[in-house]
Amino acid sequence: MNRNQAAGSRAQTGLLAIAAVTLVSLIVAYPGQAFNASLSGLKVWWDFVFPALLPFFILSELLLGFGVVHALGALMAPAMRLLFRLPGAGGWAFAMSFAAGFPSGAKAAADLRRDGVVSRAEGDRLLALSHLCSPIFLTSVVAAGFLGRPELGLPLVAIHLLSALVVGAGIGRIRFDGSIEPEPAPAPISSLGAAPRSGPRTLASVMADAHRKDGRPLGRLLGDAVASAVQSLLVLGGLMIVFSVLLQLLSLIGIGEALDWLWMALLQREAPSALADGALAAAFEVHLGAYAIANGGPPSAWTAALLSAVIGWGGLSVHAQVKSLIGGTDLRYAPFLLARLAHAAVAGLLAFALWNPLLRWFGVAAEAFAARPGGAPASAEPIAAFGGALPYYAASAQALGVFLLAALALSAAIRLFRRIRGSAVR
How confident is the model at residue 312, as a pLDDT? 93
323 domain-assigned: yes
CA distances from 312 to 275, 286, 424 (A): 17, 9, 41
412 domain-assigned: yes
Query: In 85-152, which residue ranges form alpha helices assigned H by DSSP?
Result: 90-100, 104-114, 120-129, 135-136
CA separation for the pair 200, 192 (Å, rounded): 19
15 domain-assigned: no
CA separation for the pair 46, 425 (Å, rounded): 60
Give the highest mean pLDDT range of 12-21, 334-343, 372-381: 334-343
How confident is the model at residue 173, as a pLDDT? 65
17 domain-assigned: no
Mean pLDDT of 107-132: 85
Q: Of the candidates 308, 295, 393, which has an alpha carbon nearest to the alpha carbon of residue 44?
A: 295
185 domain-assigned: no
DSSP H/E element including 36: helix 31-44
Mean pLDDT of 116-120: 83
Query: 182 preceded by cis ω (within 30°)?
Result: no
Among 34-38, 134-138, 394-398, 400-404, the range scoring the smallest mean pLDDT is 394-398
How confident is the model at residue 344, as a pLDDT? 94
* Average pLDDT, rounded, for the chain: 76
How confident is the model at residue 385, as a pLDDT? 37
Dihedral angle over CA of 382, 386, 391, 393, nearest 10: 100
How confident is the model at residue 345, as a pLDDT? 94
pLDDT digits (tens, 9 = 90+) for 252-290: 887 766 666 665 565 555 555 556 667 778 888 888 888
| Sign of the C-alpha dihedral computed for residues 47, 41, 399 and 110 taken in this order | negative
90 domain-assigned: yes
325 within 8 A of 106, measured Cβ to Cβ: yes
Predicted confidence (pLDDT) at residue 347 exceeds the cutoff of 90 = yes
CA separation for the pair 172, 124 (Å, rounded): 10
91, exposed or middle or buried, with CB in 10 Å at 0-12, 13-18, 19+?
Answer: buried
pLDDT digits (tens, 9 = 90+) for 173-186: 666 554 444 444 43
Q: Of the candidates 256, 304, 301, which has an alpha carbon nearest to the alpha carbon of residue 280?
A: 256
At residue 377 the predicted structure's pLDDT band, cuts being 50, 70 and 90, is very low
DSSP H/E element including 422: helix 386-425
Give the highest mean pLDDT range of 39-53, 78-92, 252-266, 345-359: 345-359
| Sign of the C-alpha dihedral computed for residues 28, 34, 39 and 43 taken in this order | negative
Domain count, the chain: 1
343 lies in which domain range? 37-177+194-425
Predicted confidence (pLDDT) at residue 20 exceeds the cutoff of 60 = yes
150 domain-assigned: yes
CA separation for the pair 87, 1 (Å, rounded): 32
CA separation for the pair 39, 205 (Å, rounded): 48
